[in-house]
Amino acid sequence: MDLLRKLLLLSLLVMSSSPLAAEPRVIIDQSPISLSEFSMGYFVDLSQSLSYEEVTALPFTTTGSKTTLGTSARVTWFKVILDNASGLEQRLFVHLPHAYHVRSIDFYQERDGQLVDQQVLDLEQVGDNQLMYNGTAVYPLTLPAAQSITLYLRSHVYSHQWFAVQILDEQASRRALISISSDIALMVGMLLALVVYNGLLYFATSKKENIFYSFYLISGLVWIALSYGLVASFFDVYGSDVFQLNISLITMPIFLLLFMMTVFETRRFYPTEHRFLQGLLLLLCGTLVWGFFDISAALKPASSLAALMMIVTFSVSISLYRKGNPLVKYFLVGHSFFVIFNGIAVLFYKGIIAPTYLNSHGVGIGIVLEALTLAFIISHRIKILEDIRASQEELKKQAATDPLTRLYNRRFFFSEADYLLELAKNKGTPLAVLVIDIDHFKQVNDQYGHSCGDQVIVNIAQTLKKHSRTHDLVARFGGEEFVVLLPEADLQEASQCAERIRASVQALEVPVNTHDMVRCTVSIGIAEIMLGNDSVEAALKRADKALYHAKHSGRNQLCIETPEQADAQPG
């Protein structure tokens, strides 16, 4: 190992002796000082063991003050040369705003080739280290007038090396440290609101897609808050224990897949696509288990796994769209945002593209946009289910009602009447029934036509509804015959209701044309249901007999039939 290290150093020294472009320098020439865009050098220490003395003799590659180098640059040295051209001594503060995600940072300050200061920031043991403030490493230095300082920074990360350096004066440093990442807080706040909303929806509907979506949101907001420094800023916590929360980067696609499988019902309707999603889910679950033991190693293939996940889910979505799934078109819109922005982020984390706000925040933006679209899908699915339920209720209502009068029909009457009878037995309350028939209705049809007859039936049905109680059961049995079941009504109350109906129908006038009016009357039979051993059918037979007596006694009247009277009738 020592031999290999010596050979590596020798080869690098040989390379450094060849002509190179001048090293980038940062010129400090005027106040105020707030520099975030400048050039510096970097060197990737693949052995992860080079010392300061060894590194200073090696060539550095030029990069910007914001850079990303992927997962292979676990230990990287950065070199910043500061030249004071202002003629005044400058008190400066070197900020590393992404320090919250590293394992450790070492600072080496060199003047005239001599090491004058060395500071170590170990995020596993931050304690009261004055270099760390709410997720930002702050290294103070004094730059004498007309002099230079070379600053070496050794960054040791857990997984991805993405790095930024800022050079600020005291006032700019204070402003930067007290500022709040409002964009990140807004992202987290939106996701948190959606979590609460969908949690309530789950308790209201018990739909599994709501709980999977909520866990997807929780995973997303944890990762955003962790990766963009919100956790460090608010809770001032760092190190491997906090880095373990990056497991949310694996749980997030797991819950997204479970959401897809549930909301699109792939097991039931799309078995081929379901198997693809299952295979990807199995791979992610394996990575999740791996992450519990070694999160740094598990995150190494995370970018490639994310690319695979995006390909599979997008392909499955297109397949479902071609097969006519009504919801997947909305998912495709949101997932397109997710794929585009996460694809950009994958390239950023791999060090392929330069760091910009969009590139570095791609995952967070993609998560939020997809989360909003998934919320719309859930709401739209609820609307579809409500429409289906309303349609089913309408079909049930149509099956239970008479199409002409909109009163209940014979079939519904008997099923509901049996329920009301059991209820009356349990409460010990009386129950009565009316059988109503329109007098001489055939003459109306013969004289004025069936259209007029239908109008008479509709008007009498409305009269029955108007003069019966809200909890009475009113039904049309067919033709000109109607039945009313009166809960909590004895014979006296039933007779009063029947008389109201009879008198109202007698006063009713149905216009036939501009000159003629049709007047009708009804005959009504009344019977009380005996709660001991009586049935609705038996009571209806007695009421029908009472109706027969009313008809043969001159019509336009009501008649009561009691069980004793029925028993007295000759067989």
Quote the CA–CA distance of 52 and 62 in Å, as a whole number. 19
Quote the CA–CA distance of 253 and 313 in Å, as a whole number. 10
Helices (H) then strands (E): counts for the chain: 21, 21
Quote the CA–CA distance of 318 and 336 in Å, as a whole number. 11
Quote the CA–CA distance of 393 and 399 in Å, as a whole number. 10
Quote the CA–CA distance of 105 and 164 in Å, as a whole number. 13
Among 209, 273, 480, 528, the active-site one is 480
Contact between residue 254 and residue 281 where contact means Cβ atoms under 8 Å apart: yes
Q: Label residue 245 exposed, middle or buried (CB < 10 Å: 0-12, 13-18, 19+).
A: middle
In this structure, how many other beta carbons lie within 10 angstroms of the beta carbon of residue 263?
A: 22
Phi, psi of 508 (to 5 degrees): -75, 135
Q: Which two tokens stand for residue 169?
A: 């004066």
Quote the CA–CA distance of 141 and 148 in Å, as a whole number. 12
Closest-CA residue to 72 (of 324, 350, 448): 350
DSSP summary character for residue 406:
-
What secondary structure, in 3-state letters, does 289-344 show? HHHHHCHHHHHCCHHHHHHHHHHHHHHHHHHHHHCCCCCHHHHHHHHHHHHHHHHH
Quote the CA–CA distance of 526 and 436 in Å, as a whole number. 9
Assess whether 480 carries a catalytic annotation: yes
Helix (H) or strand (E) holding 139: strand 136-143
3-state helix, strand, coil in the chain (%, to 5): 55, 20, 25
Active site residues: 480
